[in-house]
Homo-oligomer: A and B are copies of this chain.
Amino acid sequence: MKRNAKVSTAVIRRLPRYYRQLSELQEAGVVRISSSALGKSMGLTASQIRQDLFCFGGFGQQGYGYKVDSLKGEIGEILGINQGHTLVVLGAGNLGRALIKNFKFSSNGFQLLAAFDVDPKVVGTQIAGVPVYHMDRLEELLAVHRVDVGLLTVPMAAAQEAGDRLAAAGVKGLWNFTNYELNIPQDSGVVVESVHFSDSLLALSYMISQQEKAEKAPEEEPQ
């Protein structure tokens, strides 16, 4: 498959949405879908869909649309879903527990191996079948098991040290839920993806304010 080396961040951010949408279509028994129907279901135009997918070699056939299962498979391949990625959770507090219990790691191609915490009440227990070890044993266990991603749900004050230890132990990525902006050198080869809840809520707050302004002064902002 030909792939364009330069893919914009916006396209990369849309790929997981395609994957999710195609999974839902597949579950609903849809075999084939046109770019306009796929676009409509995702709030995108047909031409945007065609452009996005063209970046990755173009999978559609003119006048035929996309085969849902093969498009899903190809996008999954691009996303690295079949790479057998492994993951550990650092911090088995409320959020860590919620993710361990509810998040479908395996649907996203990740095997959740273990969790780490310092609280004697949870160390040594299991959460939804996942063993919880003491943080002191992190390096020891990561020396034995290949771990690709560390999910950080430790308190903000412990975030940087946890990230540094994971990076030193050889993880390839950090999935950061701590609301702390991790400082990991770019040349370390460790990729950081942060989920900042407050950024999301503030963006919503902004959109609501804009909406209210538009409603108050419709003549100024016709849209």
Binding site for B on A (CB under 8 A): 5, 12-13, 15-17, 19-21, 24, 41-42, 78-81, 83, 85, 93-95, 97-99, 101-105, 107-110, 148-149, 172-173, 175, 179, 181, 189, 191, 193, 195-209, 211-212, 215, 221
Closest to A100 in B: B94
Contact partner, A191, options B104, B175, B207, Cβ 8 Å: B207
Alpha-carbon distance A202/B15, docked complex (angstroms): 8
Could you tell me if A175 and B201 are in contact, using CB atoms closer than 8 angstroms? Answer: yes
Q: Which 9 A-B pairs have the closest CB atoms?
A: A80-B209, A94-B98, A16-B202, A16-B199, A193-B204, A95-B98, A191-B207, A80-B205, A98-B98
Could you tell me if B195 and A195 are in contact, using CB atoms closer than 8 angstroms? Answer: yes
Assuming the contacts A15-B202, A205-B85, A206-B15, asked whether A211 and B98 have C-beta atoms less than 8 A apart, the reply is: no
Chain A interface helix/strand/loop/mixed:
helix
Contact partner, A21, options B19, B181, B212, Cβ 8 Å: B181
Residues in B whose Cβ lies below 8 Å from that of A200: 16, 175, 193, 195
Contact partner, A175, options B20, B79, B204, B209, Cβ 8 Å: B204
Could you tell me if A95 and B104 are in contact, using CB atoms closer than 8 angstroms? Answer: no
Distance in Å from the Cβ of A43 to the closest Cβ of chain B?
9
Residues in B whose Cβ lies below 8 Å from that of A149: 201, 204, 208
